[in-house]
Structure 1
Amino acid sequence: MNFSPKNKASNITLLISAFVIVSLILWNTNSFFKKFKEEERLKMEIWATAQLELIQSSVDQELGNLTLKVMGNNTSTPMILVNEEGSIKTHNIPEEKATDSAYIQRKIRQYSSENEPIHIVQEGELLETLYYGNSEVLNKLKYYPLALLLIICLFGAVIFFFFKTNKASEQNKLWAGMAKETAHQIGTPLTSLLGWNELLKSEDINPDITKEIAKDITRLQTITERFSKIGSVPELREHDIVTETEKAYQYLKRRSSKLVHFAFNSEIEKLPVLLNPPLYNWSIENLVKNGIDAMKGKGSISIQIEQKGQNVHILVSDTGHGIAKSDFQNIFNPGVTSKKRGWGLGLSLVKRIVEEYHKGKIKVLSSSKEGTIMQISLKANV
């Protein structure tokens, strides 16, 4: 199910049908409640009549026994019987409560609001007044529509989140498709640039220029490959974590401001890790660029690699303004950014690449006004 134009009419029909069915259930439940209440009223009137017969049956013992049998059948409806002198008798009320006058008075007021009292009259003289409450079955039935509404609301919430998730999934597929199409479209001018660069090499120009152009073309090819992998499970192969990390580091170092001081340090010379290099390098670049933005283009960036048992930790440090501790987890959510420009997708993408694709971990190791340290943890393939 989705809210696309093709299925919109059927979804609306489904929702209207569900609303009609729910309305019919509620109407039927309410009708049943009223009918049950009327039958209970009739039962209590019969009981009141039996009570009057009991008062009059002192000369007819057989009639009295029949009346007692009728009265004894009522074992569920709570009742309070008050005579003209104010004497009180209770039925189907716990004995420990029956002697509590304050409790009885509260019940009389409650029963009066629930059901109209029944007056037991003989020859125009009021003998007793019968106050009765709803039986246990009626009380349960009274709350049944509320329970049903709650279930319906929960069911509606489930449907809503299903639709919302389904729509988000479709949007993700759309973005993935656009990313792949972008990668495909970039491929054509890239091929042309390669040809032009070869022509430049044949001209009498500084070879360092064509060398740097070649690096940027390679960079564009890497970006194209990254976009082409969005939405699909990347292939992981064994690569040296030190070499791949330094590769991303060196590229950014050469193309960043001279006001940014770069440092690279590794406790290990070589360590094999299952990686997808284009995506892993993308993660490192995102962390470094975030650090540069946090420093407003001036400060120090350092990358350190260390091994702890079966895990390798890649620490990316900056001297920026820091992150509030309450935001240590939030910064990895899509759309969260402290920059005036940007989509807030960088760290969200890094988290997905590290944790979903490489089965690793990423976290804010520490942060203060002096700077932030981000840590990527991956399992060594040894």
Structure 2
Amino acid sequence: MNFNPRKKTSNFILLLASFVIVSLILWNTNSFFKKFKEEERYKMEIWATAQAEFLSLPADADPGNLPLTIFQNNTSTPMILVNKDSTFKTNNIPEELLKDTTYLMKKLKQFKSENNPIIMEDKGEYLATLYYGNSEVLNKLKYYPIALMLIIFLFGAVLYFLFKTNKASEQNKLWAGMAKETAHQIGTPLTSLLGWNELLKNEDINTEISREIEKDIVRLQTITERFSKIGSLPALQRCNLVTETRNAYDYLRIRSSKLIHFSFDSRAEEFPVMLNPSLYNWTIENLVKNGIDAMKGKGSIAVEIVPAGKFVNVLISDTGHGIARSDFQNIFNPGYTSKKRGWGLGLSLVKRIVEEYHNGKVKVLSSTKEGTIMQISLKICA
């Protein structure tokens, strides 16, 4: 494993560069919007000047081509001209709405909020007031920063997700490395214990002591094997689910408190499934131990194996205090624990072993104050 700090630095530089680029785009868009709005204002002032000259001409005078050309060229900016006699003249507003006075008054109010009205005078005499709104292009450009902000938000969310995933991946590598290192460290004293146990067998001592030591050595070998497989894809083999479940069940039953009542039931003597026995037994042990902890060392543990079509379900129930429905998914997250002491890794490992290594499913089937039922689902071999 290589946790290189340069990678974090490059991620920070990438994030900073992205922020700078997006900020420049926003600044440029805002500058372009202001410039475009100023150009539109200038165009309206030219239109208003041409209109003022037109209104100041005698009725029989020829206005010339220039004012008419200016009037005709305005095909995008909506406007309402209010003459001094309170009559209206509109441009670029749907004709069917021109007779609706209420609509025109709303438009006047809208235009006034968007742009300052232009007062038209001739030699100090008031002629008219020009109210104009933003053109269709300007309106679209106005909403462009909002769309860009949404893009930035999505971009930031994607970056956050990628960084979080990367961090989770590094944590997984760290846990896997620690597990493999633990297995490696256990291997040295385990080899020594095997040698000492062989010497004890040759001595004139109670043979029962040697047998019990041998059981513990086998147990340590099993633990070493489990830890060595974390972080790598384990080999699966065709096994009888009933036999493997019973092996893990019996091991815990013999070593648990007499205040706990154990029961085991299977609807059939054999359910062939693809398993890694070592890891599967670890899963059963974790679930049973969690049930024992939830009952505080006193109650009932029941293991039941039930067929369900192409799958077989292993149900592990206890009479503990139960799990809140809101925590049905959280209990499988690394680090989550309801105990005062604990790393919160047991159920996380269970989920990984069942779902990632065995392509099965594990979930809280039900939970009340009277107890909890956990369910493991595995596919039956053809």
Name the TM-score class by shorter chain: over 0.9
1:319 Cα deviation after fit? 1.5
Q: Which deviates more, 178-187 or 211-220?
A: 211-220
Q: Which deviates more, 182-191 or 83-92?
A: 83-92
357 and 13 in structure 1: CA distance in 2 versus 1, 3 angstrom threshold: closer
161 and 210 in structure 1: CA distance in 2 versus 1, 3 angstrom threshold: same
Is this contact kept in 1: 2:3–2:170, CA < 8 A?
Answer: no
SS in 2 for 1:58: coil
Deviations, residues 240-276 of structure 1 (Å, cap 9, x unaligned): 2111111111111121111112122222222321100
330 and 20 in structure 1: CA distance in 2 versus 1, 3 angstrom threshold: closer
For residues 72 and 241 of structure 2, what CA distance do their matches in structure 1 show?
87
Task: Report the equivalent of 1:193.
Answer: 193
Which aligned segments of 4 or more residues in structure 1 are displaced greater than 4 angstroms? none
Task: Report the equivalent of 1:248.
Answer: 248
Is this contact kept in 1: 2:315–2:374, CA < 8 A?
Answer: yes
SS in 1 for 2:86: coil
5+ residue gaps, structure 1, are none
1:218 Cα deviation after fit? 0.8
1:115 Cα deviation after fit? 1.8
Deviations, residues 58-104 of structure 1 (Å, cap 9, x unaligned): 333461x5533321221211111112222222222233443343433
Deviations, residues 5-26 of structure 1 (Å, cap 9, x unaligned): 2244444433333333333222
Is 1:173 aligned to residue 173 of structure 2? yes
Is this contact kept in 2: 1:54–1:68, CA < 8 A?
Answer: no
Is 1:271 aligned to residue 268 of structure 2? no
1:313 Cα deviation after fit? 1.9
Number of residue pairs the alignment of both structures matches: 380
1:118 Cα deviation after fit? 1.2
Q: Which deviates more, 17-26 or 173-182?
A: 17-26
Task: Report the equivalent of 1:105.
Answer: 105
214 and 57 in structure 1: CA distance in 2 versus 1, 3 angstrom threshold: farther
Q: Which amino acid in the other structure matches residue 296 of structure 1?
A: K
Q: Which amino acid in the other structure matches residue 326 of structure 1?
A: S
For residues 333 and 139 of structure 2, what CA distance do their matches in structure 1 show?
48
5+ residue gaps, structure 2, are none
Task: Report the equivalent of 2:48.
Answer: 48
154 and 57 in structure 1: CA distance in 2 versus 1, 3 angstrom threshold: farther
Task: Report the equivalent of 2:308.
Answer: 308
SS in 2 for 1:367: strand
Task: Report the equivalent of 1:59.
Answer: 60
1:38 Cα deviation after fit? 1.8
1:4 Cα deviation after fit? 4.4
Deviations, residues 328-369 of structure 1 (Å, cap 9, x unaligned): 333223233222221222222112211221111222223223
309 and 164 in structure 1: CA distance in 2 versus 1, 3 angstrom threshold: closer
SS in 2 for 1:323: coil
Q: Which amino acid in the other structure matches residue 218 of structure 1?
A: V
Is 1:91 aligned to residue 91 of structure 2? yes
Is this contact kept in 2: 1:51–1:67, CA < 8 A?
Answer: yes
Task: Report the equivalent of 1:15.
Answer: 15
Q: Which amino acid in the other structure matches residue 59 of structure 1?
A: D
1:132 Cα deviation after fit? 0.7
Task: Report the equivalent of 1:333.
Answer: 333
Task: Report the equivalent of 1:77.
Answer: 77
Deviations, residues 215-251 of structure 1 (Å, cap 9, x unaligned): 1111111111111111111110011211111111111
221 and 57 in structure 1: CA distance in 2 versus 1, 3 angstrom threshold: farther
13 and 309 in structure 1: CA distance in 2 versus 1, 3 angstrom threshold: closer
Is this contact kept in 2: 1:321–1:371, CA < 8 A?
Answer: yes
47 and 157 in structure 1: CA distance in 2 versus 1, 3 angstrom threshold: same
For residues 266 and 206 of structure 1, what CA distance do their matches in structure 2 show?
39
For residues 96 and 340 of structure 1, what CA distance do their matches in structure 2 show?
75
SS in 1 for 2:302: strand
Is 1:226 aligned to residue 226 of structure 2? yes
Is this contact kept in 1: 2:54–2:63, CA < 8 A?
Answer: no
1:292 Cα deviation after fit? 0.4
Q: TM-score, normalised by structure 2?
A: 0.92
For residues 309 and 291 of structure 2, what CA distance do their matches in structure 1 show?
28
Is this contact kept in 1: 2:295–2:321, CA < 8 A?
Answer: yes
200 and 308 in structure 1: CA distance in 2 versus 1, 3 angstrom threshold: same
